[in-house]
């Protein structure tokens, strides 16, 4: 059986585990979309597959275990989840939410976020989950891009022992967007919040029996009906909303969970990613619920109240499978005051690391800390555009019988020629993938089609990679202006535009520098307007401006002032010199003159 046939056979096997109202006529066809079409004419319900079908056998089993940053806890059984989802879905229907409508969820990792995701699916609406770390301007861009009429948020969100005012930010975003008519607010912290026409408390909203329809059945949608929109920073200068379709995501999330992320039965799964990331939604919520398993969601940061929080959570909830990033593991490694006891990691059997490259030292520490003879550590690669994780393989510990589906991957040069071991090129996907995005919000199709244009129908990932001697692939970074910081994609083009908007800045360039803790961090190089003096005060103002506009992930570690432009230096030469200087100098504020650039260029020559 060839690579293509193996791929189709795997997805057909997984798809048959789902409950279908009407089975598909054709599993896959290359017609109708650059990436092909999956499950043609099939119809199914997301809410039924994730919740109601489990009620006959697992009604009293825990579906979602939750712990808040202050230590409060809640367990939702599948019966509890079904009741809350049906109640919220009834309320959304009463507000006029219909299939295809966008509903923005500006929420932290709290049970109400899971309920809201599934309630949207119950009525056929499309959820758009935004990270609570996003500042007002970023939320405004995304709300405006969706045209949502309903937004669900909370009064405030706990983050590192500080309450982030989500409702206030949401109010500013909805006022600027102009489309939101109803805001549903979860009372999480008890803080005072402004109140406007169209605002409703979540608990009151669920309690209004007058509009609850007890026989409101989960909506049955076509296989290609949109399920959610996941936003990603891209090089076109604004965030791009990638629309993912229902059946492809459901089959993919179940397939990865069963065969790669949490193999075996009675798993307790924990994904540490922020709920705004597609990994948290696909693998942290949908995968476990589709499998009838238990998922753990944690509201806070892993060092509150102490560095031992991660290990305490694993022990308390008997976590068996953990999905996290190498950056998280590097932080745990650095917290030498909080090494876990053997009892605290005894339940763990599988750790999957994704979002960035993992160094050998940290990998060895993970294995030694959790049990090299007992815990399998897997390395994974994926993309928002493709649903999250695409490929994974065990790198330490006991081998697993199967590590997810086997996607067709290759490394090619610009002409599409397959490259030998060790030669750098672009990573491409050569076989169909059911979780690939369907469309992009606001795109006329040209941006979408560009992913398939360059290599005769193969999907171009935009990632630089090399083939390794063992037949696998090592991803080295991006070809476009996107940098991974703590596992998040940050557009350097977007950061540069924000910096250039500052009244003191007349020119800017944004570079990346490898960082052993964060994967990469940003270096902002800039020239100031006449009369402005380069110093720590302006550097901090620039950092704060970026933080408030794009969020803390985009905040640069270093600000490099170019006090004087060198003569007889091309833009390419200037960028190369700045890249070298950014790599070699680590001070938080650096002031450069023309001589520094010329000396660096002379060394490069």
Predicted confidence (pLDDT) at residue 402 exceeds the cutoff of 70: no
By C-alpha distance, which of 154, 156, 162 is closest to 105? 154
Local confidence band at 270 (pLDDT 50, 70, 90 cut-offs): very high
The torsion of the CA quartet 345, 278, 426, 39, rounded to 10 degrees, works out to: 110
DSSP 3-state assignment of 109? coil
Mean pLDDT of 324-337: 90
Do 294 and 400 lie in a common domain?
A: yes
Helix (H) or strand (E) holding 48: helix 46-50
Distance CA 322, CA 340 (A): 15
DSSP 3-state assignment of 364? helix
For 342, how many CA atoms within 13 A lie in the half-sphere containing its CB? 4
Model pLDDT for residues 40-81, shown as the tens digit of each residue: 999 999 999 999 999 999 999 999 999 999 999 999 999 999
Local confidence band at 212 (pLDDT 50, 70, 90 cut-offs): low
C-beta separation of 302 from 159 below 8 A: no
Do 489 and 430 lie in a common domain?
A: no
pLDDT of 385 reads 94
By C-alpha distance, which of 382, 378, 370 is closest to 394? 378
- Helices within 65-220 (DSSP H only): 78-94, 111-123, 136-146, 166-177, 202-206
pLDDT of 73 reads 97
pLDDT of 65 reads 98
C-beta separation of 381 from 362 below 8 A: no
Do 401 and 518 lie in a common domain?
A: no
In a domain, 262, yes or no: yes
Helix (H) or strand (E) holding 287: helix 287-290
Do 58 and 194 lie in a common domain?
A: yes
DSSP 3-state assignment of 357? coil
Predicted confidence (pLDDT) at residue 265 exceeds the cutoff of 80: no
- How many CB atoms lie under 10 A from the CB of residue 306? 11
Q: Is 445 left (phi over 0), alpha (psi -120 to 50) or beta?
A: left
Edge-to-edge order in the sheet of strand 589-592: 505-515, 519-528, 558-562, 589-592
Look up residue 385 and give its DSSP letter: G
Do 408 and 511 lie in a common domain?
A: no
DSSP 3-state assignment of 595? helix
Local confidence band at 209 (pLDDT 50, 70, 90 cut-offs): low
In a domain, 599, yes or no: yes
pLDDT of 511 reads 80
CATH number at residue 346: 3.40.50.12780
Do 428 and 497 lie in a common domain?
A: no
Predicted confidence (pLDDT) at residue 519 exceeds the cutoff of 80: no
Do 46 and 152 lie in a common domain?
A: yes
In a domain, 444, yes or no: no
C-beta separation of 174 from 153 below 8 A: no
Furthest CA-CA distance within the chain = 77
Work out whether the CA dihedral 337, 343, 344, 350 comes out positive or negative.
positive
Boundary (domain end) residue, out of 399, 420, 435: 435
In a domain, 243, yes or no: yes
Distance CA 154, CA 151 (A): 10
Q: How many helices (H) and strands (E) does the chain have?
A: 19, 33
Predicted confidence (pLDDT) at residue 211 exceeds the cutoff of 60: no
Predicted confidence (pLDDT) at residue 497 exceeds the cutoff of 80: no
Mean pLDDT of 379-400: 91
529: domain range?
482-604
Model pLDDT for residues 458-476, shown as the tens digit of each residue: 999 988 899 999 888 988 8
Local confidence band at 200 (pLDDT 50, 70, 90 cut-offs): very high
C-beta separation of 192 from 94 below 8 A: no
Distance CA 28, CA 589 (A): 54
DSSP 3-state assignment of 135? coil
In a domain, 141, yes or no: yes
Local confidence band at 426 (pLDDT 50, 70, 90 cut-offs): very high
Distance CA 377, CA 388 (A): 18
CA angle 58, 64, 66 (to 5 degrees): 150
C-beta separation of 87 from 318 below 8 A: no
Do 218 and 81 lie in a common domain?
A: yes
Do 421 and 547 lie in a common domain?
A: no
Local confidence band at 594 (pLDDT 50, 70, 90 cut-offs): confident
Do 270 and 358 lie in a common domain?
A: yes
DSSP 3-state assignment of 355? coil
Model pLDDT for residues 433-446, shown as the tens digit of each residue: 999 999 999 888 88
Distance CA 410, CA 391 (A): 12
Mean pLDDT of 376-388: 94
CA angle 50, 118, 439 (to 5 degrees): 100
Model pLDDT for residues 280-319, shown as the tens digit of each residue: 999 999 999 999 999 999 998 899 999 999 999 999 999 9
Do 419 and 497 lie in a common domain?
A: no
- How many CB atoms lie under 10 A from the CB of residue 159? 18
In a domain, 43, yes or no: yes
pLDDT of 512 reads 79
CA angle 64, 387, 145 (to 5 degrees): 95
Mean pLDDT of 514-520: 64
Model pLDDT for residues 28-43, shown as the tens digit of each residue: 998 878 889 999 999 9
Residues with Cβ within 8 Å of 368's Cβ and at least 6 positions away in sequence, in order, are: none
Model pLDDT for residues 137-157, shown as the tens digit of each residue: 889 999 999 999 999 999 999
| φ/ψ of residue 582, rounded to 5 | -65, -35
Q: Please classify residue 191 by burial: count the beta carbons closer than 10 Å to its beta carbon, then call 0-12 exposed, 13-18 middle and 19+ buried.
A: middle
CATH number at residue 593: 3.30.300.30
| φ/ψ of residue 22, rounded to 5 | -145, 120
The count of structural domains within the chain is 2
DSSP string, 230-293: EEE--TTSS-EEEEEEHHHHHHHHHHHIIIIIS-SSS-EEEE-S-TTSHHHHIIIIIHHHHTT-
C-beta separation of 271 from 287 below 8 A: no
Q: Is the peptide bond before 305 cis (omega within 30 degrees of 0)?
A: yes
Model pLDDT for residues 83-137, shown as the tens digit of each residue: 999 999 999 999 999 999 999 999 999 999 999 999 999 999 999 999 998 888 8
pLDDT of 143 reads 94
In a domain, 455, yes or no: no
Boundary (domain end) residue, out of 406, 435, 464: 435
Boundary (domain end) residue, out of 435, 462, 491: 435
| φ/ψ of residue 341, rounded to 5 | -85, 165
In a domain, 65, yes or no: yes
C-beta separation of 21 from 221 below 8 A: no
Rg (CA), the chain: 24
Do 384 and 487 lie in a common domain?
A: no
CA angle 17, 18, 22 (to 5 degrees): 125
By C-alpha distance, which of 52, 57, 12 is closest to 265? 57
Average pLDDT, the chain: 89
Model pLDDT for residues 544-569, shown as the tens digit of each residue: 888 877 777 788 888 888 887 776 77
């Amino acid at each position: 059986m060839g690579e293509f046939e193996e791929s189709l056979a795997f997805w057909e096997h997984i798809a048959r585990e789902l409950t279908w109202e009407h089975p598909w006529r054709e599993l896959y066809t290359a017609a109708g979309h650059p990436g092909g079409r999956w499950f043609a004419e099939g119809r199914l319900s997301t809410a039924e597959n994730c919740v109601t079908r489990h009620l006959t056998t697992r009604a009293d089993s825990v579906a979602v275990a939750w712990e808040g940053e202050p230590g409060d806890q809640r367990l939702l059984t599948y019966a509890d989840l079904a009741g809350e989802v049906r109640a919220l879905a009834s309320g959304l229907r009463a507000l006029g939410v219909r299939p295809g409508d966008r509903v923005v969820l500006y929420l932290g990792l709290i049970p109400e976020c899971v309920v809201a995701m599934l309630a949207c699916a119950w009525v056929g609406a499309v959820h758009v989950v935004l990270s609570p770390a996003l500042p007002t301007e970023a939320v405004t861009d995304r709300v405006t891009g969706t045209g949502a009429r309903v937004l669900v948020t909370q009064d405030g969100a706990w983050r590192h022992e500080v309450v982030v005012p989500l409702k206030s930010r949401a109010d500013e975003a909805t006022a600027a967007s102009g489309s939101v008519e109803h805001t549903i607010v979860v009372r999480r912290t008890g803080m005072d919040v402004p109140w406007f026409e169209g605002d409703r408390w979540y608990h009151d909203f669920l309690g209004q029996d007058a509009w609850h329809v007890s026989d409101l059945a989960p909506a049955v949608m076509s296989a290609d009906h949109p399920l959610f929109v996941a936003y990603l920073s891209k090089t076109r200068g604004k965030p791009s909303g990638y629309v993912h379709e229902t059946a492809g995501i459901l089959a993919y999330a179940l397939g990865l969970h069963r065969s790669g992320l949490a193999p075996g039965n009675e798993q307790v799964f924990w994904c540490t990613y922020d709920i705004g990331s597609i990994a948290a939604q696909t693998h942290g919520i949908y995968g476990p619920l589709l499998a009838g398993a238990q998922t753990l969601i944690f509201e806070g940061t892993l060092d509150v109240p102490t560095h031992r929080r991660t290990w305490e959570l694993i022990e308390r909830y008997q976590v068996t499978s953990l999905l996290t990033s190498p950056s998280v593991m590097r932080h745990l490694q650095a917290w030498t005051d909080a090494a876990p006891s053997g009892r605290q990691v005894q339940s763990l059997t599988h750790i999957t690391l994704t979002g960035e490259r993992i160094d050998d030292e940290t990998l060895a520490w993970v294995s030694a800390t959790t049990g090299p003879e007992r815990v399998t550590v897997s390395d994974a690669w994926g993309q928002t555009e493709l649903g999250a994780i695409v490929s994974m393989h065990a790198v330490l510990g006991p081998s697993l019988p199967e590590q997810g589906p086997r996607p067709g991957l290759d490394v090619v040069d610009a002409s599409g020629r397959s490259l030998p071991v060790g030669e750098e090129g672009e990573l491409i996907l050569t076989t169909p993938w059911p979780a690939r995005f369907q469309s992009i919000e606001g795109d006329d199709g040209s941006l979408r089609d560009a992913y398939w244009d360059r290599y005769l129908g193969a999907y171009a990932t935009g990632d630089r990679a090399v083939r390794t001697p063992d037949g696998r692939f090592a991803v080295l970074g991006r070809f476009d202006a996107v940098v991974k910081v703590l596992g998040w994609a940050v557009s350097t083009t977007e950061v540069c535009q924000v910096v250039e908007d500052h009244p003191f800045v007349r020119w800017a360039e944004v570079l990346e520098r490898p960082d052993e803790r964060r994967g990469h961090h940003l270096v902002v190089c800039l020239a100031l307007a006449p009369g402005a003096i380069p110093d720590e005060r302006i550097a901090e103002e620039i950092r704060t401006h970026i933080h408030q506009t794009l969020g803390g992930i985009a905040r640069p570690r270093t600000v490099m002032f170019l006090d004087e432009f060198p003569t007889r230096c091309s833009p390419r030469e200037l960028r190369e010199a700045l890249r070298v200087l950014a790599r070699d100098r680590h001070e938080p504020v650096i002031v450069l003159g023309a001589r520094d650039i010329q000396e660096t260029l002379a060394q490069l020559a």
